[in-house]
Amino acid sequence: MHDRRILEHEPGDLAAHIEMIAEEFRRGFEAVDRIKRPAVTVFGSARIAPGHADYEQARECGRLLAEAGFAVITGGGPGVMEAANRGAKEGGGFSVGFNIELPQEQAPNGYLDLALTFRHFYARKVMLVKAAEGFILFPGGFGTLDELFESLTLIQTDKVREFPVALIGTDYWHGLLDWIAERPLATGKISPEDVSLLRVTDDVAEAVGLIRESWQLAGTEPPVHEPEKADAE
């Protein structure tokens, strides 16, 4: 639990910690370089099992992204992550998992062409965003909410190019979206353009279409669907 040791200021070798973090960033950037096509990062609950409606929808989403020529990146864990990676493999695409070391041992899900496990959550977060041309979020808990607001903050502050953030599940998300409109937006704490890239839908094909359109609008050729594999780490 390196993050915890660092955050709790336990005495240790500062230089060694910093070197370890830098090394993790280096390995992460190298992994991102190995994704030789545009990619979409899919976030969502780690706590759902195959057969759950969200799992099957995330799997479908992974497949559609693969067929549209996008690599699929996730946190490499179970639930929505596993489903999206699984769909990507089923669609003949390229499937990436940026996993995190957790107190309870966890193996990356079994549907990855490229897998990298991080010790530090912040290094991993950078890679989940850096490689992506868009974000799709399924219903989730704190982890997913953190990833949603991190994506929006990076776009708002121009740290990453503007690209769509699609929320799947109108019923799940509408309370949060109403609150955002009624409070932060209505009281001027965010601007209308800050939320304009946020779309909520029940249709994964619509979410994939949105990202594809934005990719084309950015003046880039649409991705080509070429099933191919890179070595897993």
CB of 148 to ligand AMP, least distance (A): 10
111 binds ligand AMP (CB under 6 A): no
CB of 131 to ligand AMP, least distance (A): 13
CB of 13 to ligand AMP, least distance (A): 28
100 binds ligand AMP (CB under 6 A): yes
Burial class (CB in 10 A: 0-12, 13-18, 19+), 81: buried
| Contacts to ligand AMP from residues 139-168, by CB under 6 A | 140-144, 147
**Per-residue binder mask for ligand AMP (CB under 6 A), 125-144, x = binder:** ---------------xxxxx
Q: Which is nearer to ligand AMP, 134 or 143 (CB)?
A: 143
Q: Which is nearer to ligand AMP, 4 or 9 (CB)?
A: 4
Euclidean distance between CA atoms 183 and 7, whole angstroms = 32
106 binds ligand AMP (CB under 6 A): yes
Q: Which is nearer to ligand AMP, 113 or 147 (CB)?
A: 147
| Residues ≥6 apart with Cβ < 8 Å to 133 | 38, 39, 40, 70, 163, 211, 214, 215
CB of 64 to ligand AMP, least distance (A): 18
Number of residues forming the site for ligand AMP (CB under 6 A): 19
